[in-house]
Structure 1
């Protein structure tokens, strides 16, 4: 009788990681999209509220679609419900924002804060599930913690002003996107492992 023994950390021993690694490029797209969104807010810091709402709505919608596709794409049978929830939250936030572009500044702030906190919590949950499967899960934890802190800061200081808001959102998006890009590249390395 022949038994297969695989080195520790191979794809077959890490089903959640394998499922995410197959779709590493979707996580990469989420990171790139966040960076582009952040850079645009720095390039045009005097954005009108309407333009900021449209940018945010498009970002949240596309980010949600990429996360949802990564969660449901065929791969190893592994629980990716947390990524599906992040995707659904993003799609919901994007659709509501794009369908209601006349939203007031305060409502937009609370909407962004709620989305950031909820998405961050589920990214932290996902990272905790991955901690036994990947060495650098801290990148996903860091992006989740950053999102939660960002959401809480918006709730704590809603009157920071439009320019301050644009810079805060831009800075968050660039750092958050950078962490997602780094995480995606780690996933790509895992996807390239040959058994």
Structure 2
């Protein structure tokens, strides 16, 4: 009975692939992520407008396609009323968003922050109320509640500052992610070269 081959380590397999074929793809992705992060920091309003226009255009096009699908369903004697209604709603929403993209970005950002604050508050309360959470879990629950209360106070008193903080967080995360991709690709390339030369 022959011994089974060693299982492939997924991390090693990923590093091998990075070192061989997709090295430059990962480098380019990293550079684009860094540039996008810098762009968010340099011109957050322009990025918000571009994002709003993109979402609006996508909704409008999707709405038109949904209306076409509803018309096809009507010709085939299938249910089409709700599909037509949804298509019209998509087109109207898409046009509104495309006309006022910055307002859409602000409303979406505030909504995301409120969801984060409420989610942290609920998680914190459940962590404190649950008998299965002890020690550090209870402390994390308290921290969740404290940060949630701070976020809620800031959102009530100065939503603009909360949005600015969100923009900075997204931008810094994007830049760090891009740097990580570049470092990972360079390390994988170096390992592959060492393996070939040895």
Do they superpose with TM above 0.5? no
What TM-score results when the alignment is normalised by the length of structure 1?
0.38
Select the structure of larger CA radius of gyration: 2
Larger % of helix: which? 2
